[in-house]
């Protein structure tokens, strides 16, 4: 089966600019996650969708970050305006369902550098 | 709060066993996971263990769980150069919804 697809692979922007990342989960996976991985740290959950509804966005900096999954398939994550501390790898993951034994499958991530 | 701690670096000789350790805080975690991340790639699920188990073996991988001490370990037998990567321990977050809490990762370096 095809894995989780993400684009772009790399993005360099200046602070205060905006940027958007795209994710296409594994076909049939209802649950989609966006994680932020800062260099030297483990991934941290930003937002989680079940189909097209948000189930957890408690760690999302809502003043500058937004995400949507309009048709319950693809998702976009946007940052506007970007700050230097947003430099990180943004990982998208999907799972078949919300249950505890449904493993997460990760994409290769988008590496964002804010200068 | 929820936290996962790992040592940051491990160096082993090719052919030796590697043991990567992790401690976690949430005693109600139902599943605990080990993920592998190679350079420039996403996270790959290696194995997981259910909280009512003490040990799980999967080919060269052995997971040991000590619930009393909230300690998890991953043993890789006959470590190869292809095992060089960052290994993340993860626990389920509280509140349901399949949320994972990751440690900072252990970088495993395998040398000849």
- Kindly report, residue by residue over B50-108, the tens digit of the pLDDT: 888 899 999 999 999 999 999 999 999 999 999 999 999 998 766 656 678 899 999 99
Q: State how beta strands B85-92 and B71-76 pair.
A: unpaired
Model pLDDT for residues A95-104, shown as the tens digit of each residue: 987 666 788 8
Angle CA(A107)–CA(A109)–CA(A114) in degrees, nearest 5? 165
Confidence class for position A35, pLDDT limits 50, 70, 90: very high
CA distance A52 to A49: 6
A58-77: average pLDDT: 94
Binary contact (A100, B43; C-beta < 8 A): no
- The helix (H) or strand (E) run that includes residue B23 is strand B18-24
pLDDT of residue A100: 63
A70-88: average pLDDT: 95
pLDDT of residue A72: 86
Going by C-alpha positions, the residue among A2, A7, A3 that lies closest to residue A90 is A7
Q: What percent of chain A has pLDDT over 70?
A: 96
Write out the two tokens for B48. 């997981």
CA distance A46 to A56: 8
A24-44: average pLDDT: 94
B5-17: average pLDDT: 95
CA distance B112 to B101: 34
CA distance B90 to B93: 9
CA distance A72 to A97: 13
pLDDT of residue B84: 96
A7: β partners? A22
Binary contact (B99, A105; C-beta < 8 A): no
Residue numbers in A near B45 (CB within 8 A) = 103-105
pLDDT of residue B103: 94
* Nearest residue, CB atoms, B42 vs list A99, A100, A108: A108
Mean pLDDT of chain A: 93
- Chain B contact residues (CB < 8 Å to A): 4, 30-31, 33, 35, 40-45, 48, 88, 90, 92-93, 95-100, 102-105
pLDDT of residue B41: 85
Confidence class for position A48, pLDDT limits 50, 70, 90: very high
Binary contact (B48, A103; C-beta < 8 A): yes
pLDDT of residue B51: 83
Residues across chain A: 115
């Amino acid at each position: 089966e095809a894995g989780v697809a993400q684009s772009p692979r790399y993005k360099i922007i200046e602070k205060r600019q905006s940027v958007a990342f795209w994710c296409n989960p594994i076909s049939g996976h209802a649950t989609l996650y966006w994680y932020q991985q800062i260099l030297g740290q483990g991934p941290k959950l930003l937002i989680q969708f079940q189909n097209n509804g948000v189930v957890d966005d408690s760690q999302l900096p809502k003043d500058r970050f937004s995400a949507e999954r309009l048709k319950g398939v693809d998702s976009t994550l946007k940052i506007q305006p970007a700050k230097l501390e947003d430099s990180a790898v943004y990982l998208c993951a999907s799972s078949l369902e919300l249950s505890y034994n449904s493993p997460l499958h990760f994409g290769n991530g988008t590496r964002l550098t804010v200068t | 709060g929820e936290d996962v701690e790992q040592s940051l670096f491990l160096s082993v000789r090719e052919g030796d066993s590697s043991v990567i350790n992790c401690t976690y805080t949430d005693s109600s975690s139902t599943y605990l996971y080990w993920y592998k991340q190679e350079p420039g790639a996403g996270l790959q699920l290696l194995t997981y263990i259910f909280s009512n188990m003490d040990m799980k073996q999967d080919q060269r991988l052995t997971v040991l769980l000590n619930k009393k001490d909230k300690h998890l370990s991953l043993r890789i037998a006959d470590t190869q150069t292809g095992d060089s990567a960052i290994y993340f321990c993860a626990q389920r977050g509280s509140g349901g919804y399949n949320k994972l809490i990751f440690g900072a990762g252990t970088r495993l370096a395998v040398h000849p």
